Amino acid sequence: MIDTNVYMPIKSNIMEIIQHTDVEYTFRMAYKGEVKPGQFFEVSIPKYGECPISVSGIGEEFIDFTIRRVGKVTDELHKFKVGDIFFIRGPYGNGFHMDDYKNKEVIIVAGGSGLAPVKGIIDIIHQQPKDYEGFNLLVGFKSPDDILFKEELKIWNEDLKLILTVDGAKEDYRGKVGLVTQYVDDIIIKNMDNVAIIIVGPPMMMKFTVEAFLKRGVACENIWVSYERKMHCGIGKCGHCRMDDTYICLDGPVFNFSKAKHLYD
């Protein structure tokens, strides 16, 4: 038989489920092993299939997946309860290299579920703020009903420089309204040469947010993005995630923008 089958998933127990919105839950899964923020797993349920999900939290004995109910696998996943099992294989992808951001003014801009892959970085910076020259977090959601990680955002709002905005809301909403790009100029950058800007979200949001920072004079080399593409294997075989000569699953999903700007679909 096959010695090491890279497609063989392992069983993982659901330790906790946190509901963020009607369609977005975080599943805390039993897992021991090294995982970096920005990496992803192939999550599967027999007969429904597999899908790539990035880790949104990393602990000694667990990993978190924040999963929106939008497809065949995720529809089924949302029926699962604490104690149930599903299957995972990974971690895959390069993830964020925290050394790239040390002693820099870190700015994270996340749109919607793009907050999940960067949450691990926020956790690390939150715990060791002295390792970084500064930290700003700019997060946007579609509406107040779509806000993820409400508890964490409350804590981050007290400890960190946070701008939370929604694209649109009813008149009585008291928070900030508008796209994240509107708030890019509100972030104070002390030294343009010493910033590390991480942008993750839907394709259009990333495009325009990157442009806004470039316009402010930030160099491409100081911007990182994480790309989401269809993936069937996660290990450079199925071909679906390829952009020109780059496999998002192997070489990404995290890219410095000096590389990412040349990628095309």
Partner 1 sequence: MKIEISKEDFNKSLHRLGDEYRIYAPVAMAYKGTFSDTDSIRYKEINTLDEIEFNLKSHFSPKEVILPITQVLFYFTEDQYKEPETEKKKLLVFLRACDIHAVKRMDQIYLENGQRDPYYQEVRDTVKFVLIGCEKSYRNCFCVSMGTNKTEDYSLGIKPVGDQVLLDIKDEELNAYFFGEEKDFEMNYVTSNDIKVLIPEPHQIAKDIAEAPLWREYDERCVACGKCNFVCSTCTCFRMQDIFYKDNENNGERRRVWASCQVDGYTDMAGGHSFRKRHGDRMRYKVLHKVYDYNKRFGYHMCVGCGRCDDACPQYISFSTCVNKLHDLGKEER
Residue numbers of the site for partner 1 (CB under 8 A)?
Answer: 1-9, 11, 44, 46-51, 68, 70-74, 85, 87, 202-203, 228-230, 232-233, 235-240, 242, 244-247, 249-250, 262, 264-265
Hey, what amino acid is at 9?
Answer: P
Nearer to partner 1, 84 or 185 (CB): 84
- 121's tokens: 């970085």
Length of the chain in terms of residues written:
265
User: Shortest gap between Cβ of 72 and partner 1 (angstroms)?
Assistant: 8
Nearer to partner 1, 44 or 209 (CB): 44
Nearer to partner 1, 39 or 136 (CB): 39
User: Shortest gap between Cβ of 265 and partner 1 (angstroms)?
Assistant: 4
Nearer to partner 1, 7 or 173 (CB): 7
User: Shortest gap between Cβ of 9 and partner 1 (angstroms)?
Assistant: 7
User: Shortest gap between Cβ of 56 and partner 1 (angstroms)?
Assistant: 16
Write 254-257 long-range contacts (CB < 8 A, 24+). Answer: 254/38, 254/93, 254/94, 254/95, 254/96, 254/97, 254/224, 254/225, 254/226, 255/224, 255/225, 255/226, 255/227, 256/220, 256/221, 256/223, 256/224, 257/210, 257/220, 257/221, 257/223, 257/224, 257/225
User: Shortest gap between Cβ of 33 and partner 1 (angstroms)?
Assistant: 16
Nearer to partner 1, 5 or 127 (CB): 5
- 107's tokens: 């700015």
Please give the order of strands across the beta sheet that includes 254-256.
Answer: 176-177, 161-166, 134-141, 105-111, 195-200, 223-226, 254-256
User: Shortest gap between Cβ of 54 and partner 1 (angstroms)?
Assistant: 13
Nearer to partner 1, 49 or 144 (CB): 49
Closest by alpha carbon to 13, among 62, 72, 75? 62
User: Shortest gap between Cβ of 131 and partner 1 (angstroms)?
Assistant: 32
Nearer to partner 1, 144 or 202 (CB): 202
Closest by alpha carbon to 212, among 201, 227, 197, 226? 197
CA separation for the pair 90, 231 (Å, rounded): 13
Within 8 A by CB and 6+ apart from 245, the residues are: none
The backbone region for 200, taken as left when phi is positive above 0, alpha when psi lies in -120 to 50, beta otherwise, is beta
SS3 164: strand
